[in-house]
Structures are given as structure tokens and as C-alpha cells.
Amino acid sequence: MSSVRTTRLLSGQFYRQDLVARLNECGQFPLTLLLAPAGSGKSTLLNQWREQVDVPQVVFMAIQPSDDDPVRFLRRFAEQTRAVVPAFDTSWFMPFDVSEMPPSSIAEALQDALEQVPDPLYIVFDDFQHIRNEETLKVLDVMCAYPPSDVHLLIASRTRPALSLAALRLSDALLELDGGALKVNRDEVIELNQRLGGEPLEDSALEHLMAITEGWVAGVKIALMGAMGSGVGTLRDFNASQPEIMEYFGHAVLKGLPDYARKLFLESSLLDHFNAEIGDAVLETTHSAALMEELSRRELFIIPVQGRPGWYRYHALLREFLQARVAIDMPECVAPIHRRATDYFLQQGDFEQALWHAYRADDVDLLLDALARAFDYWLREGYASQILEWAEQIPDEEFLARIDLAAPLISTLTLSRRFYRARFYLDAYREQASTASQKNEDEQQTLKFLELHLQLFQHDTDFMEGANLSLLMETSSHRDVRAFSLAMVAYYHLQHGRLQSALAFSTQAREVLLQLGHHFTAGYAGLITALANHQLGHIAEAVTLITEQFEASRRDCPTWSLWATGMVVVLYDQNRLEEARQLCEDLLPVVSSASATEVISTVYLTLSRLQHHQGSRKNSTRMLEKLHSILQLGNYERFVNGAVMEMVRQAYVNGEWARLESIAERFALSEWVETYLEADDVPYSQSWERRGLAAVYWLMASGRSDDAKKALSLLRDVVNRAGIRNRGSIMEANLLVLAGKQSSDAEQVRGIETLISRHGLMNINRSVFDEAPGLGGLMSDLWRRGVLNLPQFYTQLFSGVFDEEPDQPPLEVDPASVLTPKEFEIFELLQNGLSNAKISEHTGVSVTTTKWHLKNIYSKLGVSSRTEAVLRASSR
């Protein structure tokens, strides 16, 4: 690290040059530990280090009590690291893993992600004493035991963290600064006194202060502040034990304040953060601004809240003292202040602060009323995690007593795939309500909706649409229920390929939901509209809607993840692969169990495909396996089959025949073939279609080209009947590739031109090239030879497909002229995608003999692998 910059004094503080210089040595150690009591200046020192030293990449995380949860802690860490270091690859470390993987695996993934970061990286955890969770500590233990190279961890804590540090100490890999190191010296006390505007200190007073405070920063400052009001002579009587210091501080400072300020000073300690407006409203005064001005002038441990101009908080030690004094001197004001604060923050829409105060008002009805308003808002805006967090803090019987609490919770649990818990609350509420007074009409309709909502998401495509849903949608007097029902119907039609119906219902649902203020569900309905247009081949409409909504969405709003997911698809199809990858990696840290399944599936699948394009096979495979494990949380057969299709596709493109066979056996692709190969009238479902395309890849790899054509023809006919044009183009493209091996140039060109004419040139996009392996090679070969005419903008857009030179040069020799008849037979089987075992079955020789023949074939053709032989032979 570079040298310390020129000292810049900070208002109300003093610059600890020697300590900053010592802390600057952290670049030589994997772990630095700042361990000292509260008020020792740990946070101040870290901030001075950050401001005064040239540190290129610092991830600073101020730990809060709520971070003592491994999912929240690691997700916050991933988000903040990504914000500081764009090179931090969130696909290596996915916080979604935390609740499902052992700490050692999480640590390994985190280490792998950090190893990819170029340049030194400094990670600072301040107030680490709040972390007690064993899972989190085990992850950090592994990190400390096997630290990533050029990554430096700094931990500041009031208590010794429960980490295994012995090995680091023995190997001199730990830098420790304890309470003794953070003590102030004589010169620093003199400087601090000058900064505070105090009278010059006599040597005897200074000596006594140094002895009695033992260099504790907060004690020194408290004593000096007290001396400003009562004279430096009082320092000779100063007592150093912390409770007595605080008592002395309270006596000296409170006594010196004007009468109006003394009471407000005490009362304002009940507020977590405050400004002049909330002070006047909650404390029922007009003097809040004057109080803050007076406190700031006296440097009374009033601290500006970072990022919120005009807002302040008290030093934790001071606040604890003041709150204790309030409880003793004026206990009657505590509950009323918290109640008024609750009302104030509810009016401001700050529900977290409102609930914080309602919880401390010791008023159950107030808390439940505030929760009902918060739940309604969070459900409308999509803040599912907040609903789930607060649900853990309230007894079940309180939720079951009120439909305005039970309904949002059940709906959120359903959308978060916590189906069994949603079922428990729904049945419990229904049973309790049946024994109580008669339910009103709105409540009955809400319960019907929640039941259908749960069935739809839990059973996915197995959900049976019936008259009840239509009746609910058409006759319910509850406008919210009608609007949500419209969205449900649209979602159901999209699942089953009834795209025009999905489009009509989703458009209507979005309009009504926006009018009612249900912004998140309106965004969901809008995404259904975009997906329906996309599948219908209305690409311009889909892209316009997604792009407009994505650009208009704030990143801190849950609807951003919906539109960002749609934008990933747009960018990918347009071959803007780097932009798509960046957006996927931005989305990964915010994807959680509370996210929509479409979001999770799209992000993981697209990022896996992008990694596959980059040649990162291990990463792409890991993403697919992780997605598959996530999807086991519910009955998501169609999403699972989407992942299976991509697994098989990647194995087919890679020429990984053994892995392909393993996947085919694992997911019973042969059963699909046996069931549907001779069928001619199959209803469309996305699950059936994705699994069918996976079976096609398997058939092609097995050399069963005729069966692959039959399966593709069936898939094409079914999706075309359903009007799903974007999937129809993929099936037709695959058929073109299969036919291309036996077709003339003219026939190939005619087939491609027909494909373009039917679907539009821009609908032959990145997804079509990927899911019809070989199409890009076929079109680029014809284009390079001048046989196929394509617009320049198109070949430039898909430059990765239409490179001026093929990825692999064609074979320099004619296989038929240099190979023996047996070798040529094996070579043809190789081109058809057969594994060594399948080639042996076809030729009647052992696997060992087949391998020997392949070695000779590679040598004669001048290639080094199976894949190279296939690719270079195809380009002839």
C-alpha cells in the first residue's frame, strides 16, 4: 500500500497519525484485528485510515444486529463487494447457497470468487461483536485458515470474535491492535482539548486525566467536555470507572444545558435517528433545531447519519446513558413518545422505523395495526423479505386473528415457495374464522383467492383451471382480488401456451393493478405481457416494454429485478453478451428464496449459457446444478426441464458424450422418446417441450438422426399450433441442421431463407443459434462462400457467429482417401455424435479397439481430439 497522505484534521476529532501508520501495515497480513471496548475509537481510526491512505479497493461493512443471520450477512457482503469491485464474480459466490450448503462449501465458493479479483482487496467488518451465528463464523474461519491471495480482512470488534486465530498468530499472519494500542497519549489529549476549544490543561490535571482514564478515548472526551462547562479544575476529581464517568458526564453536561434543551436531550435519545422535523413532531416542541445546534456546538457526541443530510444520532454510550436516565426520571413519557414516533413514521412511509418504535411502545394493538399497514405496502411493492422477517417475531395467534395480517403473509409465503407453511396458515385461519363470527363477503373472497393462489403456484402446470377462478375474477366485490385474479389467469394461460389469452389478461391486469397501487404485481403482469409478445414473435413490442420499464425502475425497488430479468433476455438475444453477463451478475446477489421462480431460473440459465460461451465449462455446469437444487423447493417441473435441456445442450455442444448419457439416464429422456415419438396430437406445455428438445439432443448424440427428425417435427407442429413462434423457429432451425448434411447448397439456402421469411431475420437470434447447434456454422459457411446473402448489420450484430474466418480450419485431407474402410465407418459414427461405447456396439469391436482406431484417425486427419475432428470435418 502507498504511504500516508498529508494530515487533514477532522472537526471534533484528532488525527491519530501513528495508529493510521500501523493500520497501514494491514496490506502485509491476511487478517487485522482491532479489539477494544466501546468508545476506544475503532470506527474513527478505520475511517481515518480510509480517508488518509491510498487504498484502491475497500469493502466497508458496518455490521448491524440484524446481520447476525448468515443469509443476510453474506448477501449484504456480496452486494457491497460487487458495488466496489465490478470484477467480483457473483456467479462464483451465490448468497442463495447459504441456507443450503455447509459452511466449508460456502467458504470455498467465496474464496474462489475473491481469487478472481485483480489488485489488492481490503474487506472491513466494523462492529463485528454483533456476529454470533455459528454458520457465519465457520465460513470466516475457513477464510482465515486459507486466505485468498491479495485479500486482506480487517475486523473491528468490542469482544473477541469466536474465530480460530491460533494458526495465524503462529505464522505471524495476524496484525492485532488492542485496547492498549488505541489509548490516547498526552499530545493527542492536548490536541483534542484544543480542537474542542477547552482551556489549556495544567500538567497536574493532564497527568490525573491520563492516569484516571487510562487513555480511553471516550472517557477523555467526556471529561474534557465536562470541564468546558465546569472548569478544568474538575478534572482533578474525575473518576475513571465507566458508570461513574457516564454519571459525571450526565451531571456536568445536563446541568450546563438550557432548561428547554435538557428535557429534549433526554427525550430525543428514544429516537434511533432524528432531525428537526421529527423532533418537533414526536417530542411536541418547536426547539429541535435549536437543540441540535446547541449539541453540535458543544460536541456532545451527536453524529451525522451518513447519506442523510440533516439527520443525526447519538454515540451509543451516550444514548444508553440518556435512555437510562429517561427510564428513571420520566418513565411516563417513554410509551407516548414511541407511539407518536410510530404514527409519524407511518405517515412518512418509513415502515421499518415505525415498527421499531411500535415494538418498543409495549402496545400490541399499535404494533399489529402498524404491521398491517406495513404488510399492505410491502406486498404492493414486492418487499417479501421484510414480511417474512417480521412474521418470525410475532406469535402465530396474532396473525391468525386478523385477515389483514394473515392474507399478505400467506400470499408472500406462496410466492416465496414456502408452500407447507402457507398451507398451515391458510387452514388455521379458515378453521379459526369458522368458529368465530360470520365472515364478511370480502373475507370469504380473499380466502378463496388465497386457496387458488396457493394451488396455482404449488402445483404449477398441474393446477386445474376451473369455474371457481373465473367466477372469482368476474363477481368478486373486492377490487384487489379481482385484479390479482386477472394476473393469475394470465400466468396460467402463459404456462399452457395460450398466448393471446395471456396477453389480453396480463394487459388488463397490469392496468388495474397500477390503478390500485400494486406496483410489484403490476410489474409481474407486465413481464407476462412481454413474455407473451416475445413468444408470439412480436419482438419489437416485447423489447420496447422491457427496455422502457427497466430504465424507469429504481435499482433499490423490487420491481427492478423483474424488469432486469427481462432485460437480460433482451440483451442476450441481441448478442450483447457482455452487458447480459454484467446484469446477471448484478442480479445474482439479490436473487433469493423470496424471488419469483421465473427470475431465478432466467438469471441462472442465462449466466450459465454465457459462461459456456466464454469456455468456463466448470462454472456453467455448476450454475445449472445449483439451479436444479433450488428448484427442488417446489413442484417446478417446467423450470427443471428447462435446466435439463440446457445441461444436455451444453454436453452435446462440448462433445461430452459420457456426461450426456448420464444426464439422459438421470432425467429419463428415453421415456419421453418412447411415449411421444409416434404421437401426433399432444397438448402444449413448456415442460413437455423443453424436455422434448433435451431428448432431441440426446437422440442426435446417439446417432439416431431419423428419430431426432421425428421428435423435432412433433415439437414443431405442437408449438406452431399453440402459436409460440419463437419456439417454432428453434425446432425448424434444428430440422434444417439435420437436413443440411444431406442437402445441396441451394437446398440449404432455400431452407434458411424460408426460416427467415416465416419468422423474420431478427427473430433468428442468439437463442436460436444456441438451441439449434450447428445453425450458426451452417449459415456462416454459406455466407462466407457467398452463397447466402445476409445484411451487413446482421452479420456484424452476430459477429461471434459470422466471423470472417471459421473457428476451426477445415480438414486438409479428405477422410475417405486416407482412412481405411473400418476407420471411415468409425469416423462417420463419430460425426453422428456416438460415444465410444455406442460406436463399439455398431461396429462389433471392443471399446479398447475403438479407442485404438480413433487414435489412428486423429493422427491421419491431423487433429487432436474428437471435438476438433467433428468441427473441422463439418466445415469442409
Q: Under a CB-based contact definition with an 8 Å cutoff, are residues 494 and 528 in contact?
A: yes
> Which residues are 174's β-sheet partners?
31
pLDDT at position 11: 44
C-alpha cell at 111: 474464496
pLDDT at position 752: 93
Coil, strand or helix: which one is 58?
A: strand
Instruction: Label residue 337 by pLDDT band (50, 70, 90).
Output: very high
C-alpha cell at 143: 477464510
**Amino acid letter for position 615:** G
Q: Which residues contact 71 (CB under 8 A, 6 or more apart)?
A: 95, 98, 99, 592
> Which residues are 4's β-sheet partners?
53
813-818's contacts with Cβ under 8 Å and 24+ in sequence apart are: 813/860, 813/861, 813/862, 815/857, 815/861, 815/873, 818/860, 818/861
Instruction: Label residue 635 by pLDDT band (50, 70, 90).
Output: low
| Per-residue CA distances from 790 to 550, 786, 787 (Å) | 31, 10, 10
Res 410 pLDDT > 50? yes
> Which residues are 156's β-sheet partners?
34
pLDDT at position 668: 93
| Per-residue CA distances from 633 to 100, 231, 629 (Å) | 11, 68, 8
With 0-12 / 13-18 / 19 or more C-beta atoms within 10 angstroms meaning exposed / middle / buried, residue 59 is buried
Tens of pLDDT along 539-570? Answer: 889 899 999 999 999 888 888 988 999 999 99
Select from 593, 525, 549 the least CA-distant residue to 384: 593
- Looking up cell 399497514, which residue turns up? 373
SS (H, E, C) 725-764: HHHHHHHHHHHHHHHHCCCCHHHHHHHHHHHHHHHCHHHC
pLDDT at position 604: 92
Select from 683, 742, 686 the least CA-distant residue to 709: 742
**Amino acid letter for position 393:** Q
C-alpha cell at 243: 458508570
Query: How far is the C-alpha of 189 from the C-alpha of 97, rounded, in Å?
Result: 49
**Amino acid letter for position 588:** L
Alpha helix (H) ranges present in 517-668? 519-536, 539-552, 558-573, 577-587, 597-613, 617-631, 637-654, 657-666
> Which residues are 434's β-sheet partners?
none
Rounded to 5°, the CA angle 700-701-706 comes to: 25
C-alpha cell at 128: 463485528
User: Residue 302 gets which letter from DSSP?
Assistant: E
Query: How far is the C-alpha of 220 from the C-alpha of 16, rounded, in Å?
Result: 15
pTM score of the predicted model: 0.73
Q: Which whole number is the average pLDDT over 838-863?
A: 80
Half-sphere exposure at residue 412, Cβ-oriented, CA atoms within 13 angstroms:
24
pLDDT at position 351: 93
Q: Which whole number is the average pLDDT over 140-154?
A: 83
Res 180 pLDDT > 60? yes
Tens of pLDDT along 464-482? Answer: 555 455 555 555 555 677 7
Total residue count of the chain as it appears in this document: 876
pLDDT at position 876: 47
Query: How far is the C-alpha of 465 from the C-alpha of 726, rounded, in Å?
Result: 26
Res 660 pLDDT > 80? yes
Res 769 pLDDT > 90? yes
Strands 121-126 and 151-157: parallel
